Every structure is written in structure tokens, then in C-alpha cells.
Copies of this chain bind each other. A is one copy, B any other.
Amino acid sequence: MLSGNQVKYINALKLKKNRETQRQFIAEGSKLVIELLNGPYHINEIYATPEWIGMNAAFVRPGKIIPQQVTEKELSRITALNTPSPVLAIVSIPSAEAEPLSFNNNLILALDDIRDPGNLGTIIRIADWYGISAVICSETTVDLYNPKVVQATMGSIARIPVHYTNLADFLSGLPASHKVYGSFLEGENIYTSVLSDKGVIIIGNESKGISQDVEKFVTDKIHIPSFATGKKSEEHAESLNASVAAAIICSEFRRRII
């Protein structure tokens, strides 16, 4: 049984300012919670239906945390999703990584003002699939611990380092030899471009693309061409979704090393 104070506390964590004060976030979904239980995260509370607890007792390490039994109706009062999952966990936000980024021999993704939580979570999942070392977010990018971001990562949040910083400052600090890729209409066809197996790939904002401040640091402009048969702009899609573009770009970089 959830108390009124618990409901109030959990719902407050849907706002970034409260997550920052409390240093806690909400994670929902069976797969995600199990991944977090097996990862380095500190889980403070688990609220779950009796069915979930019955089926997943083995995943909950003894002595670590005792799930609190709640009804589906109670979960619907605390969920951040449209359809509540049978389990919701309250997890501590890890303290910022002290160690510097090490990506000199690999690819990293830099997100320039990604606003949609689903896009950020999906991009972290893509980074995990394609062995990307880290995701660097502009300070204007949606918060990593937004419940919809956490959910869309499907557990990859536990494996991919994500940092928030001023992108222009970060890019200006790179060695001159470092490639910085960005997608632009006038860019070179990605399918026939020479692509490095190391460097930074910038993914721009959902409607505005890559900002001028960040464009200055792009060394290689690339472009995913459309294969639509309609020649006029109103005869085909104007753009791809940001996470879809990130997926196609990562796929294209990685297939070159096979």
C-alpha cells in the first residue's frame, strides 16, 4: 500500500529540479529494472505487482532490496508512462564521473540540443549496440534521468557513459587531427564517403539541425541521401527522425570495419 507521501514524492521525481535535489530518478519496465539491479546502480525502492515479484524473485538479489507490493491501480498513480509497467524503481543518480573521457581510439556521439526524451533514450540504445564509447550532450539536451529517456534506453543507460557539457568548448578542445562529422543537406553522400573508425559524430536538434556554434567545428559534412522517386520536395519526406539518422550513421560507420 502506497502512502500519500510516497505518491507525492515519486511524482515529484518526474521534474528535473526535484531529481537534482533528491539525486534520484524513476525507472520503469521489467527489463530495465532487472538490468539496473544487475548493474552498478544503487536502487532505493522497488514498487511491483505481486505477479512481478513472484516471477522475478530470482533477479532481486537477497539482502539488496525488498520490493514493495503494490496494485496496478497504485502503479497507475505513480507511473510516468502512458501504460504503467508492473514494476517501478527509485534509483540513485550516480555522482558525476571524475575520470576524463577516453575516446581517442573510437567513435563518440555528440548531441546538439536533442529535445525529445524518446530520441535521447533511443540514441543511447543505438550507441550501446554499435559500440560507441560515450554520448556527449549539449547542456540544452533533454535530461538523461527524465523517466521517458530512462525507459527508452531499455537498460543501455547502465552501460553507456553520458556527459553534459558545452559542446563548442568540448569540440574546441579536441586535437586538430580529430575528425568531427555532422549531417548537412550539402554534405557528401554518406554511402560513398570515406569514414574513419574514430572521431565525433554530431547529431543535431530535431527541427533546427546542427547549430552554427557547433557547425564551425565540423571537419567532414555528410548527408544521408533520399531514395524517393518524387523529385519535388513536397513529393518525399523532408528529413529523418534524429534517432533514425543516428542509427543509419552509426550503421554506416561500423559496417566499414567488417
Contact = CB atoms under 8 A, between A and B. Distances in A.
Nearest to A256: B191
23 contacts: A31-B238, A35-B234, A122-B241, A125-B240, A125-B244, A126-B240, A126-B244, A129-B226, A129-B237, A130-B226, A130-B227, A131-B229, A131-B236, A154-B238, A154-B239, A154-B241, A155-B238, A191-B255, A191-B258, A227-B257, A244-B244, A248-B251, A251-B252
A192 B258 CA distance: 8
Interface residues of A, number: 43
Given A159-B236, A243-B244, 12 more contacts: A118-B118, A125-B237, A125-B241, A129-B237, A130-B227, A131-B236, A154-B238, A189-B258, A224-B251, A227-B257, A244-B244, A251-B251
Chain copies in complex: 2
A96 interface: no
A130 B236 CA distance: 9
A247 interface: yes
The 3 closest A-B pairs by CB, nearest first: A131-B227, A128-B237, A191-B255
A228 interface: yes
Contacts of A244: 122, 125-126, 243-244, 247
A230 interface: yes
Nearest to A116: B118
Contacts of A230: 159
A163 interface: no
A224 B257 CA distance: 14
A119 to B, nearest CB: 10
A241 B247 CA distance: 10
A38 interface: yes
A143 to B, nearest CB: 15
